[in-house]
Amino acid sequence: MKKITFILSALFLTVFLSCDTESINEEPEQAANSNPNFRVASTSGKGMFSRASYDEPCMTTNLIAGQNDIAGTVSVDNDGENLIITYSTNGDWTIDLTHLSIGGCEEQWVPTTGSGNPKIGQFEHSEPHADGTTEVVYLISLDALTENYCFAAHAEVQGATGGETAWAEGPGFDGNSWAMYVEALLSDCDVAAADEEEEPPVK
């Protein structure tokens, strides 16, 4: 009797774990991070997060690979609690690794060399991604940002001709590399303010 009970228990456990594994695999891969103001997730799908009031992101720039190829986009959203920065690839491009540095533009928001090139390996946010990843989403608490913020979004991507480094398109750094960054205002992506502007006047 004990033997039968053990077999049934083992069978139940196997089925339970199998179902649990399937449910986990359906969710986007989300990395653990000790910083409560920061989260990151990646997937081979599209559209994991969206802004509270609009279907389109409030800002989008190209993800430039190898200085010349448009491998996708980097977009900025605001869900009312977080700034959402999304890397999305197009065509055959996939993402192996991402680095993100973000902060107030008036502060020392990105580590650089003496000549002004960004130190990618010292960016505060860095995540490897599974093969075939086409979208990576970073969520940064709005409380951790200033009105005028800057970010450098770097990626290692794979295309039809092999691996390339990629940057979100924007102004160049002071150094002699082709690294780029993005400068923006939180108010440009403020859902609440935009909604108030669209409300008709009270009669």
Domain residue limits, the chain? 27-198
Interatomic CA distance for residues 172 and 9, integer angstroms: 62
Residues 98-112 pLDDT 10s: 999 999 998 889 999
pLDDT, average across residues 11-25: 35
Residues 31-69 pLDDT 10s: 434 455 555 555 555 544 444 445 678 899 999 999 999
Interatomic CA distance for residues 93 and 37, integer angstroms: 29
According to the model, what pLDDT value does residue 31 have? 41
If phi > 0 it is left, if psi is from -120 to 50 it is alpha, else beta; for residue 91 that is left
DSSP codes of every residue in 94-146: EEEEEEEEEEETTS--S-B-TTS-B-GGG-SEEEE--TT--EEEEEEEGGG--
Residues 130-179 pLDDT 10s: 999 999 999 999 999 999 999 999 999 999 989 999 999 999 999 899 99
Greater confidence, 124 or 23? 124
